[in-house]
Structure formats: C-alpha cells, structure tokens
C-alpha cells in the first residue's frame, strides 16, 4: 500500500470553494502535490471550507473543514479536526507554520513562506503584550512539534535563531523556484535600439505591504520629469473599488498604466519591461515576482525585506533601496540614465535566477521528505 501524506492549509481555494486564489503559495502547493505524486505517495489536502470536496489537481482531493476561528493568529480548531479526519495518514505537511499548533502528526513537516508579522498592522490582531506573548508561545509550540520546517528564505530561519536559538536546527532553507524556460530574457534582435522609451513594471498586487503608495508617487514624479519613462502597474487590488480607483488614476496620467494579466502572460510582460519594481514594505519571502523578473533579465529594484535579500545583491543582481518613493525615483533614474548598469545587473540577475530552478527545488524537498519518513 502506498504511503499516505495529508496536507493542511488555510485557503488554497477561497473558503466558499468557488474562486481560486492563485498566488505564489497556491503555485507552491500545486508543485508540491506533483512532486509527492511523482515520489509515489498518496496525497490528500484539507483547508477551511464548508464541508465541500474538490480536487487540487486532477485525482488529488481537497476537503473543506468548517472551522474559521483564528484566536491569537492560529487555528487550533482546524488543526484538531484535521488531526481527526486525516488520522490514518502516515505523515502530515502543515502548509503554513502556525497550522501545526497544537497537535501534530509524529512524522510531519511544516512550511514557512516568509515572515508576515513584520508590520505595525499586526498590532490590530495582537493589541497588547499578553496577546503577543501568547501568539509567540503558540508559534513556538507549532515549530517544536513538527519533525522539520521548510523555509522559503533565510530571514525566517534567522528570526527563529534570534528568538528561540535551539529551534533553528529544525529548519531547512529551500528557496522558491522559477520556470527558467518560460521566463527568459528578450532576444538581442528583439531590442529596438532606436527607441529611448524605458518601461518600468510594478508586477505585484496593488496593496500597502507591496509598496503601492510609494510606487504610485514615484510613478508620478518620474513620468512628469522624463517623457521617455512609462510605468505599468500590473496586479489585482483587494477589491473592485480599489481597482476602479487605480484605473481612473492611471487614465488621468500619461504613461501610467493599470491592468492585470493571467499568469501565462506574465513572462511576456517581463520581456516587455526594462526595469521591475519590487518595493515591498513587509511580509515577503523569496518573491516569485522577483525571481521571474530576474530570470527575464530585468533590472530589479527591491527592498531589504525578508527573502528579497536572498535573491538580490545591491548593485550586482539588482538595486536594493529603502521602501520610499524618493529612493525608487533615484534608483530608477540611475538605471534609466545608465543602460550599461541596467544590462550588467540584468545579466547577473539571470545568472543568479538560474540557480533557482524547479529541479533543484524538487530534489531538495524530496530529500527532506525522505529524511522525515
């Protein structure tokens, strides 16, 4: 009989089960499922939902558990029902670190997608010292319980090392991956050397933590001061109202664009771009957008947040800045006025991205799974 692996996540699908949230974590989930099937395991998923049953990829079920409470930023009820329903599995994967609180399978792995508590907004959820300590106590328990934690970046591992030094040894660094065949630099003969137009792309969701406000301001300054620059904001916002606001804003400014694209067109967008902005303010792992832009040979402008430091070295494979509009403008102007710098950084970015292949990700994950089982 095949070894059975049960996976618990919070939301692969929206809890209603209707719309699929297709971000980085969801792509990660699909690739992990494929790997486990290739390793000849039986795989089954659980998440928050109203007792529905769907398939995450053909043949692999995902079931909804109607537990939505999140006391202290954890989900103990979801954890408990999962433990009961998946009881005959041989091992479990907790797709988010805190989901392993309070009960864990003897053989288990959890996944950290990066630090997400590095902004003042966390105080809305943990409004006082006691609450914060309780949240930390639960997170510590979640980490202590599992056999192994896979982290997408070294920032999380080093935060754990600076918080509970002993627990850091549970962690393995397995950075995110990029599809190097889909994301490749534009061919030399495709570059129109007569054009002086420089395209800047912000390929993220239009949200505060991703730096939309700073990027918006920088776009205004840049397009007003330089007729050769255009800025494209490409990504959904939180809701329809925000998307309408963005669209109206873009419409009233020359050379500023706002739209969004399905995943399969993103590679084309990066080849169309010269400079890519990743001005994250918090909650970042080894960003897929950043990796894809790098694989496409773009000159990326990033901040120091979380896993970005695992991808970009300042002035070598990108430009690293503080998340302010002023710094974005300065870095962009340097790249606009320095085509050689842009080219050099873009070339190095592609070289670096080549070490983040899906194959390498799969073999590292496979080794960890074999160690745990």
The site for another protein (CB under 8 A) is made up of 115, 117-120, 122, 154-155, 157-159, 161-166, 168-169, 171-173, 175, 282, 304-306, 309-311, 313-317, 322, 348, 351-352, 355, 360
Cα 16 to chain centroid, rounded = 23
Q: Which is nearer to another protein, 54 or 344 (CB)?
A: 344
Q: Please, which residue, 155 or 293, has the CB nearer to another protein?
A: 155
Q: How far is the CB of 235 from another protein (least distance, A)?
A: 23
Closest CB to another protein among 224 and 322? 322
Q: How far is the CB of 206 from another protein (least distance, A)?
A: 21
For residue 7, give Cα distances in angstroms to 84, 113, 211. 13, 15, 32
Give me 290's structure tokens.
Answer: 């950043």
We find the least distance from the C-beta atom of residue 145 to another protein, in angstroms, to be 19
* Greatest distance between any 2 Cα atoms in the chain: 67
Of 12 and 342, the one with the shorter C-beta distance to another protein is 342
What is the nearest approach in angstroms of another protein to the Cβ of residue 372?
A: 15
Give min distance, CB of 142 to another protein, in A: 16
Please report how close the Cβ of residue 162 comes to another protein at its closest, in angstroms.
Answer: 4
Q: State how beta strands 229-234 and 198-202 pair.
A: parallel
Closer residue to another protein in complex, CB, 232/350: 350
Q: How far is the CB of 288 from another protein (least distance, A)?
A: 17
Return d(Cα 138, Cα 130) in angstroms, integer: 12
Cβ atoms within 10 Å, residue 53? 10
The tokens describing 181, both together, are 């065949």
| Neighbour count for residue 212 (Cβ, 10 Å) | 21
Nearer to another protein, 1 or 162 (CB): 162
Task: Please state the closest distance from residue 152 (CB atom) to another protein, in A.
Answer: 13
CB 136 → another protein: shortest distance, Å?
A: 10
Query: Residue 153: CB partners within 8 Å, gap ≥ 6?
Result: 112, 114, 173, 175, 285, 286, 306, 307, 310
Going by C-beta distance under 8 Å and a sequence separation of 6 or more, which residues neighbour residue 246? 206, 233, 237, 258
Q: Which sign, positive or negative, has the C-alpha torsion 289, 294, 300, 304?
A: positive
In angstroms, the CA 95 to CA 31 distance is 13
Please say which residue, 62 or 311, places its beta carbon nearer to another protein: 311
Nearest distance from C-beta of residue 332 to another protein, angstroms: 19
Residue with tokens 């804003």: 249
Nearer to another protein, 60 or 157 (CB): 157
CB closer to another protein, 118 vs 243: 118
């Amino acid at each position: 009989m095949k070894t059975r692996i049960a996976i618990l996540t919070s939301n692969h699908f929206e809890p209603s089960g209707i719309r699929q949230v297709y971000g980085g974590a969801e792509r990660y989930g699909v690739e992990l499922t494929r790997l486990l099937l290739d390793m000849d395991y039986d795989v089954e998923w659980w998440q928050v939902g109203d007792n529905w049953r769907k398939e995450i990829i053909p043949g692999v079920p995902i079931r909804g558990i109607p537990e939505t409470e999140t006391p202290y930023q954890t989900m103990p009820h979801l954890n408990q029902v999962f433990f009961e329903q998946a009881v005959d599995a041989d091992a479990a994967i907790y797709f988010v670190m805190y989901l392993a609180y309070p009960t864990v399978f003897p053989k288990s792995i959890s996944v950290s997608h990066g630090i997400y508590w590095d902004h003042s907004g966390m105080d809305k959820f943990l409004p006082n010292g006691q609450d914060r300590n309780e949240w930390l106590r639960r997170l510590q328990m979640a980490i202590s319980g599992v056999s192994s934690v896979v982290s997408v970046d070294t920032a999380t591992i080093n935060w754990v090392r600076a918080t509970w030094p002993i627990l850091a040894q549970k962690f393995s660094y397995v950075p995110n991956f990029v599809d190097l065949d889909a994301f490749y630099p534009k061919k030399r003969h495709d570059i129109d050397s007569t054009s002086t137009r420089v395209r800047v792309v912000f390929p993220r969701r239009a949200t505060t933590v991703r730096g939309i406000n700073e990027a918006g301001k920088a776009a205004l300054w840049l397009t007003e001061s330089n007729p050769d620059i255009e800025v494209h904001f490409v990504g959904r916002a939180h809701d329809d109202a925000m998307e309408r606001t963005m669209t109206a804003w873009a419409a009233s400014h020359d050379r500023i664009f706002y739209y969004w694209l399905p995943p399969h067109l993103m590679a084309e967008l990066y080849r169309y771009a010269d400079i890519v902005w990743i001005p994250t303010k918090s909650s970042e792992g080894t960003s897929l957008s950043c990796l894809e832009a790098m694989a496409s040979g773009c000159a990326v402008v990033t901040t120091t947040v979380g896993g970005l430091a695992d991808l970009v070295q300042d002035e070598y494979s990108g430009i690293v800045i503080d998340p302010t509009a002023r710094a974005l403008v300065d870095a962009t102007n340097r790249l606009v006025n320095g085509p050689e710098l842009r080219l050099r950084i873009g070339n190095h970015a592609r070289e670096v991205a080549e070490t983040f292949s899906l194959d390498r990700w799969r073999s590292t994950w496979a080794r960890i799974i074999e160690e745990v089982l």
